[in-house]
Amino acid sequence: MFDALKNLGGLGELMKQGRLMKEKMAAMQEEFGRKEITADSGDGRVTATVNGRLELLQIRIDQSKVDTSNVDLLANLITTAVRAAQARAAEYMKQEMEKAAADMGLPPGLLS
């Protein structure tokens, strides 16, 4: 019975590591919210900006390059720009999570 209690000393360390990991993840989420990632479509006709949480922040349309009367084309350019920005943001988050996992000594892919 007392042999099992010897391992409880490691429990405190494990709880400390868990708390530190939780704090690190909260800080990363806050950082992701501040990070802005931009992509364009149609050779810069439409630019979309999202944050690291994949939330759309802004759409810019270069009226000198876009025929605003062609609504279908404009909608397609907007959709393409937003998807590209979100894909870049997702890749950014994945890389940052992999770095964080490595820093914490966790196996690759555990936090992704």
Instruction: Give yes or no for a contact between 79 and 71, defined as CB atoms under 8 angstroms apart.
Output: no
Would you write out the chain's pLDDT as a tens digit for each of its 112 residues?
Answer: 455 555 555 667 767 777 877 888 788 888 888 999 999 999 999 999 999 999 999 999 999 998 889 999 999 999 999 999 999 999 998 888 888 878 777 776 666 5
pTM: 0.74
**Under 8 Å between Cβ of 82 and 30:** no
Question: What is the model's pLDDT at position 18?
Answer: 75
With tokens 């099992």, the residue in question is: 4
Q: Is 3 helix (H, G, I), strand (E, B) or coil?
A: helix
DSSP designation for 18: H
Fold of 36-104: Ybab; Chain: A; (3.30.1310)
Q: Where are the chain's structural domains?
A: 36-104
CA separation for the pair 105, 77 (Å, rounded):
42
